[in-house]
Chains A and B, each alone.
Chain A
Amino acid sequence: MIIKKKEAIKILGKFELSLKGKKERIAILRHNGQIILSTAVPKGRGDMICTDKFRKQLYLDQGELADAVRCPFGKKEWIEKLQSINLI
């Protein structure tokens, strides 16, 4: 599955990751004051070639990524997923 770069940015916004860096290329998840994970923010337009790697950085499976793009999978579900794998 390949998503668009703007869809990836939309997901980062939906999951409420903070953008960091001068060029805002890093998105981080902070939990209880600690940075738990980070991912790169894609630049430009078009297809996100490394969709699969982006997905794995966020600990999502293919179905969850597809749901995150559409709508059913939001921040609440994502946090529950991260908790279920003991990341937070």
Chain B
Amino acid sequence: MKTQRYSAEEVMDSIEASWMKPKEKKAFPKSTINNDANAVVELVSKHVERFHLHQIFEETKTEISLLKSNFVELKKLIVDLQGKIESRNVLVLNLRSEKYTLSNPISVVFEYTPEGIVASCYDLNMFGEGITEDEALTDLCEIIVEYYEMLKSEKLENLGKIPTIHYNYLRLIIK
């Protein structure tokens, strides 16, 4: 790399043009700089430091701006998701069956999605779905009745751990 030599005057002209504040121009008149190499070095190193700080400042500003826009996007996403996922817990007292009634209510959670509604009975790990709450609940009740009848038709020793738990629960609440 070829190095180029600059006179003190050339250096001063460059600094003066881009970085020097008016006070400094007064403190370091060109005539002084021309005769004082130390003054030039002092001034140049001050400006180099200022330039580096300025660079860091600009980079930080850019990063902050990026973080701000990411934050705004995240907020929008959260609001969007909140609008999509909603749920409601209800107690169901009617199995909608001609054969069976409930002696105790069943806890059902309605979950609302853009595609429709899911009626969940977490105590039995069973779910119904529909376009309306009524449809979803009817679907769930039909499934619960079929599940109960299937479990009832099996010998107890043929039920694994989880089906046994479900059957014991259903026996308590269905009459």
Interface residues of A (CB under 8 A from B): 2, 20-23, 25-26, 28, 31, 33-38, 40, 42-43, 47-50, 53-54, 57
Chain A residue numbers with a CB within 8 Å of B126 are 40
CB distance from B88 to the nearest CB of A (A): 16
The answer to whether A53 and B118 have CB atoms under 8 Å apart is yes
Q: Give how many A-B residue pairs fall within 8 Å (CB-CB).
A: 65
Of B115, B117, B120, B142, the contact of A2 (CB 8 Å cutoff): B115
Q: What would be 6 A-B contacts, judged by CB atoms less than 8 Å apart?
A: A37-B163, A40-B126, A40-B147, A42-B129, A53-B118, A53-B127
Interface size class of B (residues with CB under 8 A): 20 to 34
Give A33 to B117 CA distance when docked, in angstroms: 35
Chain B residue numbers with a CB within 8 Å of A22 are 146, 149
Chain B residue numbers with a CB within 8 Å of A53 are 118, 120, 127
Q: Is the interface of A mostly helix, strand, loop or mixed?
A: mixed
Given the interface pairs A2-B115, A22-B149, A48-B129, the reply to whether A40 lies near B143 with Cβ below 8 Å is: yes
CB distance from A18 to the nearest CB of B (A): 10
The answer to whether A49 and B113 have CB atoms under 8 Å apart is yes
Interface residues of B (CB under 8 A from A): 113, 115-118, 120, 125-129, 139, 142-143, 146-147, 149-150, 154, 157-160, 162-163
Give A33 to B155 CA distance when docked, in angstroms: 10
Question: Whose C-beta in chain B lies nearest to the C-beta of A2?
Answer: B115
The answer to whether A38 and B163 have CB atoms under 8 Å apart is yes
CB distance from B110 to the nearest CB of A (A): 12
Of B115, B118, B146, the contact of A23 (CB 8 Å cutoff): B146
The answer to whether B154 and A35 have CB atoms under 8 Å apart is yes
Of A26, A37, A50, the contact of B118 (CB 8 Å cutoff): A50
